[in-house]
Structure formats: structure tokens, C-alpha cells
Amino acid sequence: MAVTVVKGGQVKFYIDGTPAGEAAQSFNWPVLNDEPLRIGGRKDGYSFFSGCLDDVRLYNRALTAGQVKTLFAGGVPVYGKAEGPSPADGALAVTMPLLQWAAGDKALFHNVYLGTTSQLTEANLVGSRQMFTMLYYVKGLQPGTTYYWRVDEIDAAGTVQTGDVWSFLAQAQTAYYPNPADGVLDAAQTPELTWLPGQTAIKHHLYFGDGADAVGQGAAGTDKGELTDPNFTPGALESLTTYYWRVDETIAGGAVKTGPVWKFTTCLSVDDFEGYTDEEGSRIYETWIDGWTNGTGSTAGNPTAPFAERTIIHGGKQAMPMDYNNVKSPFYSEVEREFSPVQDWTAGNADTLVLYVRGQDDNAPGQVYVAVEDASKKVGVVAYPDTAITGSAKWTQWKVPLSSFAGVNLAKVKKLYLGVGDRANPAAGGSGRIYVDDIRVVMPAPGGAQAP
């Protein structure tokens, strides 16, 4: 976790680069005679901070949200850049073609670029040497189109500070931006279908089923009725199965705008870590056996409740934290889960194991691996190619072709192992913590490409 406090009329707090609240500034922080600067405690001997601090910085200016985000990502803010785009970067339902931003330091003029590709060139210059920090794009926006824009700042000496490229999505006329995304191969078996309403939509008529033609024709068996909110829960679905859905929008006056047919394919969920609780019998370490039982340097779950991770997650509400310690013998750390009955990972011509891994920036480098054991105790091991993954504080999608587990009967998967270290040739290493989430098996992508 990284916490940033920014003064400037308001005290703003950020956690991991993301805004987490603010309050009015109630006092100034003066320099007190020759007293030393104390961080994490008070000189009167109480109110000590319990935890660790690192990389403390003081700036002589209030940082913008964009600058805080850059700092958290490991970069250095460029103060001459334009900041604070409106529409916000990544906005999904923009209707007004009014672009606004906060000027960079010393900027006198602003060059504004806008286009439908992130590779903006002089051909995309829509506002040259603008004096104000806003521009109304008179051509308007095409519904359902993603736009990219950039503001280059020009100072008194004529120096140009190239800005960041931002993007936004213009609101479509029909239902759009489906979730699960159109064409995905790893949708959950219990998904919630959501979408963004088209322009002036007041009701939504949803069609859902496992046949493209039936959904496209609005067959009775696929008709789920009219909805007032843009979401629908179809219930538990079959694994490794393709489903189709469509949302027609009713607008003011009763006219209906027919939506496109979307599709998604469900995964075979191996473990999404959502079902674990803090009650005895359903705790995460009672399913994922760790070093307390298998003798390695691992610990599955937090040492105290909540045992599953509920803050650092990839999907859903929980993930699995795993501590590793390879300083002492046996010099590798792994957790294991046994399946009863055995799992069939070959159903539906599935070809890829997908899992999400995240480390911490203070972790020691380590080789992350996954191993699969079948009912006859044949084991296949695959290691992630970069040991720096343990030090990455971002979720990494790891796609493992099932063919990598040579000799293992994947129709009878008995155990799954996750570990850090070299299982075959253990050697002394470091320690740290990783997080794992959303382990699943997915079908091949159309045309034989690897699953996204």
C-alpha cells in the first residue's frame, strides 16, 4: 500500500495512486525550531505507527492526481505537462464534445490533438495555440467511437512540452460496452451481465441463450423480458460453453433500437477464491495445504482473519495471499490443493490454464511455478519465465498451455501446486509474499490462436 497526502486548501489522500478521500486543511505544518523531523511517532513516547515506511518525499507544490499516479507507477512527474483531462481519461459515456484540462507550469498556449487512433499526428491538430484551457470540437462526436486526445503545452520561449495521450468513448445509440466483453473466452460460470445504455434509453429488452441465431431472432426461449437497470444475472452456466446475448433499447416515445449480438465463452473455474470464509472448515489454508503440513517455506492465507485477501484482488472479492521463505531448507515454498473428484481439464477442447499473479515491490526475486499432478501421481511443472514477477505490484495474467504439462493425464487432474523456488533443484533464495487469483481453464481462441 502507498499513501500520499497532498496539501493545497484540501488534504487529499491516495492509496496505491488512487484517490481515497479528502478533507479541508485545518492548519499549517510549521518548522519547529531545531526539533528533528519525526515520521511514524511522536516525541512524547506514544502514538507510534505500527508498520513500515519507505520512500518518503516532500514537494513544494500540491501534486495533481495524475502526478500522484505517475509517482506510484515508479515514474517522475513532468510538471510542464497538461493535467486533469475532462472528459476523464478512460471515460465511457461522453456526449458533449467539450475538452478541458489543467495547464502545465509556465504554459501560455496549448496545441490540441484529437483522433480515433492513439498515434496522433499533425493531421489530428484540432486547436492550434489555444489561449484557454478548453476546446469545443465543433464537428461533434460519432456515437460509439473511441477518441484519443493530447494537449501539448507551449511556454514563452516557444518550448513545447508533449502531453500524455488520453482517451474516451462517445456514448453509443444502442446498448454498448458489454461485460463480459464481446468474444472473451474466460467468463465466469456465474457472471453478471452489464452494459452501458444507449443514448436516451429508458428500458432494456434482453435476449440470452446458447444459440446465435435464436438470440438474433429474439426467439421465445431467449427472451428475458424488459429491464429498468442495465444488468442481468443468468444464474449458474455450463463451463466451457459459448453464450450469446442482445439488448434492445426502448427510447422516449416507445421506439426500439436493436442492439448487436454479443458472445462470451465460460471458463472451467479451478479456484476463484470466493468461497472461503473465516469459519473453521472453510478457511483458505484448510483447502490449500502449505508449509505447516508439507514442510516447505510457504504460508497460505493471512496469519489472522480475514484469512483470504480482501483488498488486493484481481476479480470478485477475494484472492489468496501466499508467503514464501526460501532462506532455509528445503529452499522452495509451495501450496497445494487436492481435487475430489478429479477434474477433467480436457473438456470442450480446453487448451490453456490461466491464473493471475501479483507480487510486492520489496519482494526478493523468485521463480514462480505451477505444477499439476494426475491420479497416477505423474507431475508436470511449468515455471514463469521472469523471476522479477515476484517484485511486480501489478497483476500479471499467466497463460500456461496445457500441452506444457507433458505426460500428465489432464482428464484426471488430482492436485494443483503453486510455488516459488526451484522445485527440482532447490537452492537458497529470498522471502516475500505473492497473491494468486482467478485460476481457470479456457478453450482455444478462434483460428487456433492462444486464449486472450
Q: Is the pLDDT of residue 354 over 70?
A: yes
Q: Is the pLDDT of residue 206 over 50?
A: yes
* Predicted pLDDT at 44: 61
19 pLDDT band (50/70/90 cuts)?
A: confident
317 pLDDT band (50/70/90 cuts)?
A: very high
pLDDT in tens, 29-68: 555 556 666 666 666 655 666 777 777 777 766 777 777 7
Give me the architecture of the 270-448 domain, per CATH. Answer: Sandwich (2.60)
Please give the grid coordinates belonging to residue 112: 490540441
Q: Is the pLDDT of residue 3 over 60?
A: no
Q: Is the pLDDT of residue 1 over 60?
A: no
* Predicted pLDDT at 4: 59
- Asked if 83-170 and 176-266 have one fold, the answer is yes
Distance CA 198, CA 194 (A): 13
Q: Tell me if 133 sits within 8 A of 110, measured CB to CB.
A: yes
pLDDT in tens, 226-280: 999 999 999 999 999 999 999 999 998 899 999 999 999 999 999 999 999 999 9
| Secondary structure of the chain in HEC code, one letter for each residue | CCEEEECCCEEEEEECCEEEEEEECCCCCCCCCCCCCCCCCCCCCCCCCCCCCCCCCCCCCCCCHHHHHHHHCCCCCCCCCCEEEECCCCEEEECCCEEEEECCCCCCEEEEEEECCCCCCHHHEEEEEECCCEEECCCCCCCCCEEEEEEEEECCCCCEECCCCEEEEECCCCCEEEECCCCCCCECCCCCEEEECCCCEEEEEEEEECCHHHHHHCCHHHEEEEECCCEECCCCCCCCCEEEEEEEEEECCCCEECCCEEEEEECEEEECCCCCCCCCCCCHHHHCECHHHHCCCEEECCCCCCCCECCCCCCCCCEEEEEEECCCCCCEEEEEEEEEEEECCCHHHCCEEEEEEECCCCCCCCCEEEEEEECCCCEEEEECCCHHHHHCCCCEEEEEEHHHCCCCCCCCEEEEEEEEECCCCCCCCCEEEEEEEEEEEECCCHHHCCCC
Distance CA 90, CA 148 (A): 10
CA distances from 447 to 163, 261, 267, 350, 443 (A): 39, 20, 18, 14, 12
Q: Is the pLDDT of residue 452 over 50?
A: no
381 closest CA partner among 344, 336, 339, 412: 336
Question: CB under 8 Å to 50, separation ≥6 — which residues?
Answer: none
Domain coordinates in residue numbering, the chain = 3-72, 83-170, 176-266, 270-448
* Predicted pLDDT at 69: 77
What is the CATH number assigned to the segment(s) 176-266?
2.60.40.10
pLDDT in tens, 275-298: 999 999 999 999 999 999 999 999
Distance CA 270, CA 340 (A): 12
Distance of CA 121 to the CA centre of its chain: 30
* Predicted pLDDT at 93: 96
Distance CA 404, CA 371 (A): 10
The pLDDT of 417-436, averaged and rounded, is 96
* CATH 2.60.40.10 fits domain 83-170: yes
Q: Tell me if 413 sits within 8 A of 147, measured CB to CB.
A: no
Distance CA 323, CA 336 (A): 13
* Predicted pLDDT at 274: 96
Question: CB under 8 Å to 170, separation ≥6 — which residues?
Answer: 94, 95, 141, 142, 143, 144, 145, 146, 147
pLDDT in tens, 391-409: 999 999 999 999 999 999 9
The pLDDT of 151-175, averaged and rounded, is 96
438 pLDDT band (50/70/90 cuts)?
A: very high
18 pLDDT band (50/70/90 cuts)?
A: confident
* Predicted pLDDT at 5: 61
Q: Tell me if 366 sits within 8 A of 449, measured CB to CB.
A: no
Question: CB under 8 Å to 11, separation ≥6 — which residues?
Answer: 5, 22, 23, 24, 25
Q: Is the pLDDT of residue 326 over 60?
A: yes
Q: Tell me if 297 sits within 8 A of 325, measured CB to CB.
A: yes
* Predicted pLDDT at 82: 93
Distance CA 25, CA 124 (A): 42
Question: CB under 8 Å to 157, separation ≥6 — which residues?
Answer: none
pLDDT in tens, 166-200: 999 999 999 999 999 999 999 999 999 999 999 99
Average pLDDT, the chain: 90
**pTM as predicted:** 0.78
